[in-house]
Structure 1
Amino acid sequence: MNYQAIAGELTIYTAAVEKQQLKEFLDTDDDLEVNLSQVSELDSAGLQVLILLKREATQRNKKLRYSMHSKAVLEILEMCNMTAAFGDQVVLT
């Protein structure tokens, strides 16, 4: 399993760069995990990147998990009613 972490903002200002890096990460293995514990801010553009990556992984028959969701990530997922949409285990504190 390959592992990658996202740190800092995942917003409209960083989404294009993160999207490219994460799409390259998809090519590294068939079993992948993205740690979201260091995401300090997430907006709709960042959420779209996470949705796109999950969809692309599914289309490529790859297993992709998001883990260790930060408070910023959880707030957006809850606000958009998407906490369960990715099918990842989310630990609410």
Structure 2
Amino acid sequence: MKVNAEKNNGLCRLQIEGEMTISAATELKKSLLDNLANCSELEIDLSQVSEMDTTGFQLLFLVKREASLLNKVFRIISHSPKTLSVLKLYNMKDFFES
């Protein structure tokens, strides 16, 4: 798992590559929350995610909730087939688009 970050005027754009699974959870959680803390808007590109399990889904849910509590903008700007499949499985696609 690799997280590429770009920061510009309060906007953080992250592109996650590889697996969003339990094996990468600790590192990914730290990266997501650290980036959220240092920006006013967080965009995440999931188009290069090759695998996502329940833990990966829970991390996205956590970051969206934290962004809301901090009055920050959170959005997913692109999905891979694997991430879209997980969001549809949990009937949460619309939740992450709002």
**TM-score normalised by length of structure 1:** 0.89
Alignment RMSD (CA, Å): 1.0
Specify the alignment match of 1:54 in structure 2.
64
Percent same amino acid among aligned pairs? Answer: 41
Moved over 3 A (4+): none
Separation (CA, whole Å) in 1 of partners of 2:45 and 2:20: 13
How many angstroms apart in 2 are the aligned matches of 1:53 and 1:32?
9
Compute the displacement of 1:87 (Å).
2.6
Counterpart for residue 68 of structure 1: 78
Specify the alignment match of 1:91 in structure 2: none
Q: Aligned equivalents of 1:8 and 1:66: distance in 2?
A: 16
More helix by share: 2
| Uncovered stretches (5+) of structure 2, i.e. residues with no partner | 1-10
Higher relative contact order (CA 8 A, sep 6+): 1
Moved more, 13-22 or 78-87: 78-87
Q: Structure 1: which 5+ residue stretches go unaligned?
A: 89-93
Count of aligned pairs: 88
